[in-house]
Amino acid sequence: MDEPKNDSTFGERYPWLVASASEAVDFSIFDTRSRTAFRRAKIRTWGDLARSTDGFISSIPSVGALTLRRINEAVAARAPDPSEETRPMDASASAEWPPAELSLPSGGILRLEYSARWVRTVLGGDTLGDLISAYSQGADLPDEVRSELVALLETSLPGSSHPGLSLADLIDSIVREASDPELLIARECSREQPTFEVLGRQRGVTRERVRQKVSKDASTVRAALRGDRYQGLRWALDRLRVELGIVAPATSEIVASWSSRIGSDRFQVVRWLAGYDYHDSWLIRGPGALADLTAALNKAIDGAWFVSS
């Protein structure tokens, strides 16, 4: 029966490979089948092997569980004395690794020396994206690398403390662009959506006067939405459209999540700005959404709504 494969890289299991990444593989410690596998996979340096996993080695033609085990045994036996492995690097060795520092918006410096070294030798990469991708995929990071990454992830984004950048604040701000925010919300940002006539009676004005005010304020708000100030809100609207699609249940988990995050009243504003209207227990985007959805269904089933048994 095949032995279970280790998902970690050789470099994660045998740190000495990382320290010797630029050195050529000592093929004399491996058997013939292992050397053949290395040649086929173009594994020429210890760094090449450090980036490999059991799964990759096993994918090489003619490599079975026995060969994989012998490779691991040879690498483990080749490991230097622990006292030498943990000995501080001398000046000549450290000179190979330039200082890895990240300037922070606050003016501080975040050192990523171990992270840069690990990414370059184990992953063969050189970007923060490589490091974060490995972390998100559950890579077994050395403690030094993990500590640096945690410090990086806990660093505040530029402007994150600015009170006007939250989504809730942007929603409140854009509503205030209207001359009569309460009337606009009562008409457009309400699930019941009372008629102009009902709103007119409540305010002692004509139906037409209400319609004009709502129409003008809606245009004013949508024009303001195109400005740089509301870029973050536009991103949020795009995200909502992606999550809801053309049609979605009004009581879906998506709606509940957004309402919990920004409040149910603000969600109604976002829902309206994103172009969704209530139809019974559904949210539908745009006046032509029903027709588009029906056309798509007809095309998918070739008009065969009724199926005979």
Residues 37 and 56: beta-carbon distance below 8 Å: no
Report residue 107: phi and psi, to 5°: 100, -10
Q: Which of 39, 63, 85 is the last residue of a domain?
A: 85
Q: What is the pLDDT of residues 268-306, one digit of tens each?
A: 999 999 999 998 899 998 777 667 777 777 777 776 655
- Is residue 148 domain-shared with residue 242, that is, in the same domain? no
- Is residue 120 domain-shared with residue 147, that is, in the same domain? yes
Q: Which of 126, 153, 180 is the last residue of a domain?
A: 153
Whole-prediction pTM = 0.52
Residues 57 and 63: beta-carbon distance below 8 Å: yes
Residue 88: band (very low, low, confident or very high) from pLDDT cuts 50, 70, 90: very low
- Is residue 168 domain-shared with residue 287, that is, in the same domain? yes
SS3 call for 284:
strand
Is the confidence at residue 19, as pLDDT, over 90? no
Mean pLDDT estimate for the chain: 81
Kindly state the DSSP code that residue 110 receives in the 8-state scheme.
Answer: E
List residues bridging with 276 in a β-sheet: 285
Start-to-end CA span in the chain (Å): 50
Which is higher by pLDDT, 246 or 152?
246
pLDDT of 92 reads 40
pLDDT of 211 reads 95
SS3 call for 247:
strand
Q: Which of 110, 135, 153 is the last residue of a domain?
A: 153
Assigned domain for 120 exists: yes
pLDDT of 165 reads 62
SS3 call for 282:
strand
Residues 213 and 179: beta-carbon distance below 8 Å: yes
Is the confidence at residue 105, as pLDDT, over 60? no
Is the confidence at residue 158, as pLDDT, over 80? no
- Is residue 36 domain-shared with residue 107, that is, in the same domain? no
Residue 21: band (very low, low, confident or very high) from pLDDT cuts 50, 70, 90: confident
pLDDT of 256 reads 94
Which is higher by pLDDT, 165 or 197?
197
Q: What is the pLDDT of residues 47-58, one digit of tens each?
A: 889 888 888 888
Look-up: residue for tokens 């009902």? 198
- Is residue 37 domain-shared with residue 126, that is, in the same domain? no
- Is residue 276 domain-shared with residue 197, that is, in the same domain? yes
Helices (H), 60-180: 65-78, 82-85, 91-94, 113-118, 128-136, 143-153, 167-175
Assigned domain for 58 exists: yes
- Is residue 31 domain-shared with residue 129, that is, in the same domain? no
Is the confidence at residue 135, as pLDDT, over 70? yes
Which is higher by pLDDT, 105 or 10?
10
List residues bridging with 278 in a β-sheet: 283
pLDDT of 101 reads 58
- Is residue 171 domain-shared with residue 140, that is, in the same domain? no
- Is residue 182 domain-shared with residue 222, that is, in the same domain? yes
Assigned domain for 308 exists: no
Residue 243: band (very low, low, confident or very high) from pLDDT cuts 50, 70, 90: very high
Is the confidence at residue 98, as pLDDT, over 80? no
- Is residue 147 domain-shared with residue 247, that is, in the same domain? no
Assigned domain for 306 exists: no
pLDDT of 270 reads 95
d(CA 133, CA 122): 13
Query: What is the percent of the chain where pLDDT is above 70?
Result: 82
- The average pLDDT across 66-77 equals 91
Which is higher by pLDDT, 149 or 84?
149
Assigned domain for 309 exists: no
pLDDT of 91 reads 39
pLDDT of 107 reads 53
pLDDT of 110 reads 64
Assigned domain for 110 exists: yes
Q: Which range marks the domain in which residue 281 is found?
A: 163-294
Q: Collect all residues with Cβ–Cβ distance below 8 Å to 70 and sequence separation of at least 6.
A: 30, 31, 33, 34
- Is residue 167 domain-shared with residue 287, that is, in the same domain? yes
pLDDT of 90 reads 41
Assigned domain for 41 exists: yes
Residues 29 and 78: beta-carbon distance below 8 Å: yes
Say which amino acid occupies 126: D
- Is residue 182 domain-shared with residue 287, that is, in the same domain? yes
Total domains, the chain: 3
167-175 and 181-188 helices cross at what angle (nearest 10)?
110
Strand 276-279's sheet: what is its strand order?
247-249, 282-285, 276-279
- The average pLDDT across 164-186 equals 90
pLDDT of 254 reads 93
Assigned domain for 119 exists: yes
Which is higher by pLDDT, 24 or 155?
24
pLDDT of 109 reads 63
